[in-house]
Amino acid sequence: MVETQILHVSDTHLGYRQYRSDVRRSDFRDNFRKAIERAIDEDVDAVVHTGDLFHDSNPSIGDLDDCGELFARLGDAEITTYGIVGNHERKRDTGLLDLVGRMGDVEHLGREPKLVGDVALYGIDAVPSRSWDTTPLELAEPPAEANVTILCLHQSFTPPLESGDHHDLSEVLDSVGIELDGVALGHIHKPASAEVDGTEVWYAGSTARTQKSQNSPRTVQLVETCDGHIERTQIGLDTRQFESITVEFGSDDGIGHLRSRLRQQSLDDAVVALKLTGERGAMTANEADTAAREAGAAVVSVDDKRGRVDLDTGDIDVQDVEDHGAVVTDQIEDEEFGPVVERVDDRIRTDGSVPTGTTGAAEELRPDLEVAMEAAFDESDGATEDDGATGDDEATTEVDE
């Protein structure tokens, strides 16, 4: 008999204008809305969010309003949301999760338990790598009514990740001071799971793709307790088609070659990450963008690597660059820097109020630069399945909407 149902959601990255597109910003909001609708359809007892609710620690008023409206829908359905803070939205002062909590039925998890049905929920916000070894992990004892204990974290752990520079989850289990039945994780954008010393641990995955390399379906997890045990069902979300296409060019190939390649698959209303390789010809990156949109793509990112060889700076013919601003934008998107870098770049190149002098510009941009410096010591902002996550979660049943 099912005693408690919780929908585990993570890494929604609200407000992310991926590829500087308002279409993508809307996609991140709509994907979270689909997760919320699933929670309401399942009539769950609670929603748990394990971090990176927002993509940026300084979301716009519109993004905050969208978030408050979505949580209000859960509140109208008498579903409480519990959450922790991820590395993207971490702030030094009032946390965004606490601010959103003032707009709806949202509670910030901590080391004291929150009881949902027969489940005692705990949470520890994302911890910078430099502070991990000195961060206390002890949790308060669960209430007598709790049959299941679950800790929520937003970090990279081995297991369930198999390789890379990750924290040891076994050490967490040894340090919390109570018996845990489950550890619900955020930060890695692909579902992965393992059993560690008798404790079930899992990543929910993300609700939207934040990088080109994320090819698997976006997911949430339905967590159910039965007789003191945890059972999970992996639920796939119906999200916008995302296509990564590489087109190799010979010396005589041009726009016709690209269009022929694009016609080989349906791109209607899709996000297309287009990578151009091989010999450089007369076709420009802007023309490639236009061709993909004419083929039906809603959002296009062009990574033009044609003719790339290792050259000294003095050998580069700047006349080959048609639009220097577009080249800088494409390179920043290709590197997939964090939101602070994108915001500073935007202000320097488009905000006429930023002083032109070095000292004045530094003072004007100081708040953003301080956040960027702090983030430089943290774990990577762009957690992906390439960070060591396993394949689709084999411990659960995948359900497509």
Active site residues: 88
Spatial contact of 202 and 192, defined as CB atoms under 8 Å apart:
yes
Angstrom distance (rounded) from CA 88 to CA 205: 16
Instruction: Tokens for 147, please give them.
Output: 């049959």
Q: How far is CA 349 from the centre of its chain?
A: 26
Angstrom distance (rounded) from CA 156 to CA 380: 10
Could you tell me where the beta strands, DSSP code E, fall in 125-196? 148-154, 157-158, 167-168, 182-186, 192-196
Total length of the chain: 401
Angstrom distance (rounded) from CA 385 to CA 191: 8
Neighbouring residues of 158: CB distance < 8 A, sequence distance ≥ 6: 164, 166, 167, 168, 169, 388
Burial 100-112 (b: 16+ CB within 10 A, else e): bbeebbbbbbeee
Neighbouring residues of 134: CB distance < 8 A, sequence distance ≥ 6: none
